[in-house]
Amino acid sequence: MRHDRVAPGPWATGVADGAQAPVVKPRPPRPPRPPVYGEVVIAALRFCRAVQGTACGRLLAVALPDLVRRLRRHGELAIDDATAESLLRISPATIDRRLKNDRAKLDPEPVPYQPRNTAEGLDPDADVGGVDDTRPGFVEIDLIRHEGGNARGEFCFTLDITDIATGWTETRSGRNKAQKWVFAAIPDATAGFPFPILGIDSDNGSEFINWELFHWCEQQNRGCQIVCVRGGDPSRKPRY
C-alpha cells in the first residue's frame, strides 16, 4: 500500500522501506599549496611598499607597474625580468596576506590611560583648580573628527567623554562640531554615567566654552564646573 503512495523513481521503493543513502567517506585533507611567489619577490614587494609609504594592497597593486619600472631604471630595485613580471601579477589580496606581519609591526602599542596630574608630573594627590582626579565625576571631553584624510566640506565628529578616575567612557556622534550638535550630545552622553558629573575638562573651543553649556552645568546636582586648559599650561583652573 505504501508503494502506491511513493512517486516512481530509482529511490522510491528504497526510501519507503527505510533504506539509507550510502555513506560518503571524507576526503583526506589536501596538502598546503606551495607559495607562488618566493622570498625574492616578497622582498622586492616589501621594498616597493616602503617606497609608497606602507600603502595597502589595493593601492600598491595599482602603483606597481609604474613604480617597478622607475625603480629598475634608476637602479634602486635590482631584480631580473622574471621577478618583475611576478611583481606585476600579484593580486591585492595576496599583497595584504604576505605582508600581514609587516603591517602588524607598524601598529602602535596601546598606551595605558594616566590621570592628568600624574602624566604632567604633578602631585597626584593635589586638588588642582578644584578638580579631584581620584573622585568619580570629573570628566575629560573632546571631539574626534572623521574626515578620512580630507578636511574639506562637512564631516561627522565623535564626542568622547571619559571619567578620569574610573575610565568610564561615553561616545556620541554628531553632524559636525557646531555648538548646536555638540551641546545636544553632551546631556545624552552624561546620562549614561552611573554617577553625577561634577566637572568638565575641555579645550577652549567655542563648541565647549559657551553660555549654553554653562547654564546646563549650573542646573546639575551640586553644580558642575567647566575646566579649560590653555596654552600648554599644566595647571587647570575653573573657567566658570
- Which of 65, 86, 106 marks a domain boundary? 106
Q: What is the pLDDT of residue 15?
A: 52
- Which of 82, 106, 130 marks a domain boundary? 106
State whether 173 and 231 are in the same domain. Answer: yes
Q: Is residue 20 part of a domain?
A: no
Q: What is the pLDDT of residue 144?
A: 85
CB 48 within 8 A of CB 60: yes
State whether 94 and 145 are in the same domain. Answer: no
Neighbouring CB atoms inside 10 A of 186's CB total 22
CB 148 within 8 A of CB 173: no
Q: What is the pLDDT of residue 38?
A: 85
Q: What is the pLDDT of residue 108?
A: 66
**Grid coordinates standing for 147?**
574626515
Element (H, E) at 86: helix 81-89
In 3D, which of 149, 214, 216, 161 has the Cα closest to residue 190?
Answer: 161
- Which of 51, 79, 106 marks a domain boundary? 106
State whether 99 and 125 are in the same domain. Answer: no
State whether 169 and 56 are in the same domain. Answer: no
Q: Is residue 64 part of a domain?
A: yes
State whether 124 and 208 are in the same domain. Answer: yes
State whether 120 and 234 are in the same domain. Answer: yes
DSSP annotation string for 2-53:
GGGGSPPSTTHHHHHTT--PPPPPPPPPPPPPPPSS-HHHHHHHHHHHHHTT
CB 183 within 8 A of CB 213: yes
Q: Which domain holds residue 205?
A: 116-238
Q: What is the pLDDT of residue 211?
A: 82
CB 167 within 8 A of CB 139: no
Q: Is residue 29 part of a domain?
A: no
**Grid coordinates standing for 160?**
568622547
Residues in the chain: 240
State whether 133 and 216 are in the same domain. Answer: yes
State whether 99 and 169 are in the same domain. Answer: no
Quote the number of domains for the chain.
2
Query: For residue 114, which amino acid is it?
Result: Q
**Grid coordinates standing for 237?**
583652573
State whether 100 and 136 are in the same domain. Answer: no
Separation between Cα atoms, residue 83 and residue 214, nearest integer Å: 66
Separation between Cα atoms, residue 32 and residue 43, nearest integer Å: 22
Assessment of whether the complete model's pTM goes beyond 0.85: no
pLDDT averaged per 10 residues, the chain (length 240):
53 53 79 82 90 82 90 90 90 89 73 49 43 79 83 84 89 85 87 86 81 79 58 44
CATH of the domain at 212: 3.30.420.10
Q: What is the pLDDT of residue 148?
A: 78
Q: What is the pLDDT of residue 230?
A: 43
State whether 88 and 177 are in the same domain. Answer: no
State whether 125 and 211 are in the same domain. Answer: yes
Q: Supply the Cα-derived Rg of the chain in whole angstroms.
A: 32
Separation between Cα atoms, residue 184 and residue 191, nearest integer Å: 12
State whether 129 and 214 are in the same domain. Answer: yes
